[in-house]
Amino acid sequence: MKDVGDFGQPPLAAENRALVERRLKEVTAGTGLQETLTIEWRLKPHVVHVIDVPVDSLYYNPSTHRIRAQRSYDPKLDRRLDEDPWSEESQGYLDVLLKAEPSDPSKRDKDFDELKESLDGFKQNEPGLITPDGILVNGNTRAAALRELGVPHIRVGVLPDSYTWADINQVELSLQLRPDTRRPYSYINRLLTMDEQVEAGRPLKDVAREFRIRESTAEQDLWVLSCLRDLRDRSVAGEAQLRLLDFEDAQEKLREVHRAYSKVSKADLRKAELLKEYRLAAIVMDFSKTDVRLIEPEFGERYLDQRVPDDLKAVPATAPGRVIPGINRAVKAEAPQVAAARAFTDSVLRAKAVVRAGEKVLAEASQKAAEVFDLAHHAMEDALEPAGKDARVRKRKQAAPDRLYDACQDIEQCVTDMVLARGSRSLDEEALDEAVLKLKASLGKLARTAAQSIEVPGDGVAWLLDAVRQDNA
């Protein structure tokens, strides 16, 4: 029985296996210092020997999490990769994606060039990892860089003979998440990898621990991925469709959508859905994080609806309530306001998908989609202006953040004063120590008040709470 995602063996598996066995015998028979690599093998630490092998004899891993989202850049080559991952065409596609910018695979990644420069100047610091058949488990990007540099060999550890594709995926994940200088997964690939682990039956708390994040953050990330898949599915317009990688640069915006949605949904789910739809539409249209924050549940009714052209106001007939088969449980129909918000977002999604498709769609269709997208963008931009003015008025009534910003400026000035005092040896160290203790006490009060007042902490408040909690431990 094959593993899920089992790509079989590459054509030169027998030759690679013979070479690997020969090199391993040479290493174990030697009397010198032997290099090893410790991996997590079936939940236990396992030490493997490191050998040198020709880099051109190895195969890129078609299931690598590093470019999971980017594979959809070219649907035809993506399908070919599933059908024959070891062909020259498929391996060439993997080579291109490994060197490409995660958010736009048509561009070369600057991080890849930095890795290549590092390998050229300082050689290979960390060994990669392969299967006995020559499949790269870890070190795919390094192998691509070494090939460009013309370096003939790569240092790699070797998995045990009993490996499965499930082992390959798990070991790759554990190595990539080690806290070192290794290139991190892109945002979307992290989400897909976490989802894959949960779907495989691993408890969410274990997945979160492996990614070194809180369980609540993992829940947030999976919620975001669910939203992105929904947006992708709703963007279908003929042959055109958005891809998950199109949202690669929207990490912070999407996390803020989740925090706002979670807070509002506790009181009113309908308002939470309205907020989510309009914020996601703004993200699709590439508005800034500051602009997206201005969108509250009443944004459509107060600012946007009156500015949206009639052509974009077409709302599908309200669907009646339905009954879930098997349990005969009734589900309420979608509220008209939410249906209208979804219709607006759907128009934006389909228009952007067609525009992004470029030459894959007719010029007339692309032009019409561009017009729809521009109309929606102008309507959103016009609506955000009065929303911003009203937000600034409300902010005057909520001065706590402003006071913290003022305190930050005072601390920055304090740093400058300390540098000057050190130069003249006039720093009053005892007075400074007393002031720092006062700051510590004030931060403790701020943390306690924040814990009582904020239901869904953002990154800054979460850091403050953790810092105070660790200090009191």
Measured torsion, CA atoms of residues 303, 263, 261, 304, in degrees rounded to the nearest 10 = 0
Measured torsion, CA atoms of residues 243, 244, 250, 254, in degrees rounded to the nearest 10 = 120
Q: For residue 69, what pLDDT band results from cuts at 50, 70 and 90?
A: very high
Say which residue the tokens 């392969």 belong to: 130
Reading the block at residue 155, the tokens are 């240092």
Q: For residue 270, what pLDDT band results from cuts at 50, 70 and 90?
A: very high
Angle at 173 between CA 172 and CA 174, to 5 degrees: 95
State the Cα–Cα distance between residues 317 and 139, nearest whole angstrom.
53
- At residue 183, the pLDDT reads 66
Cα 37 to Cα 41, 144, 343, 385: the distances in Å are 12, 21, 54, 57
Q: For residue 330, what pLDDT band results from cuts at 50, 70 and 90?
A: low
Tens digits of residue pLDDT in 115-142? 999 999 999 989 999 999 999 999 999 9
- At residue 179, the pLDDT reads 57
Tens digits of residue pLDDT in 429-469? 888 999 999 999 999 999 999 899 888 889 999 999 998 88
End-to-end CA distance of the chain: 51
Say which residue the tokens 């390959």 belong to: 168
State the Cα–Cα distance between residues 204 and 223, nearest whole angstrom.
13
**pLDDT for residue 321 is more than 60:** no
State the Cα–Cα distance between residues 43 and 171, nearest whole angstrom.
10
Tens digits of residue pLDDT in 358-370? 888 999 999 999 9
Angle at 301 between CA 318 and CA 352, to 5 degrees: 70
Q: For residue 322, what pLDDT band results from cuts at 50, 70 and 90?
A: very low
Q: For residue 427, what pLDDT band results from cuts at 50, 70 and 90?
A: confident
- At residue 154, the pLDDT reads 97
**pLDDT for residue 318 is more than 60:** no
The mean predicted confidence, pLDDT, of the chain is 90
- At residue 3, the pLDDT reads 46
Share of the chain above pLDDT 90, in %: 71
Closest CA to 358 of 150, 143, 106: 106
C-beta separation of 55 from 152 below 8 A: yes
Tens digits of residue pLDDT in 4-33? 468 999 999 999 999 999 999 999 887 778
pTM above 0.75, yes or no: no
Reading the block at residue 346, the tokens are 């759907």
**pLDDT for residue 316 is more than 70:** no
Specify burial of residue 194 (Cβ count, 10 A radius: 0-12, 13-18, 19+).
buried
State the Cα–Cα distance between residues 23 and 19, nearest whole angstrom.
6
Q: For residue 310, what pLDDT band results from cuts at 50, 70 and 90?
A: confident
State the Cα–Cα distance between residues 73 and 225, nearest whole angstrom.
18
Q: For residue 405, what pLDDT band results from cuts at 50, 70 and 90?
A: confident
- At residue 180, the pLDDT reads 52
Reading the block at residue 363, the tokens are 């010029």
Measured from the Cβ of residue 42, the count of other Cβ atoms closer than 10 Å reads: 12
Residue 136: CA count within 13 A, CB half-sphere: 30
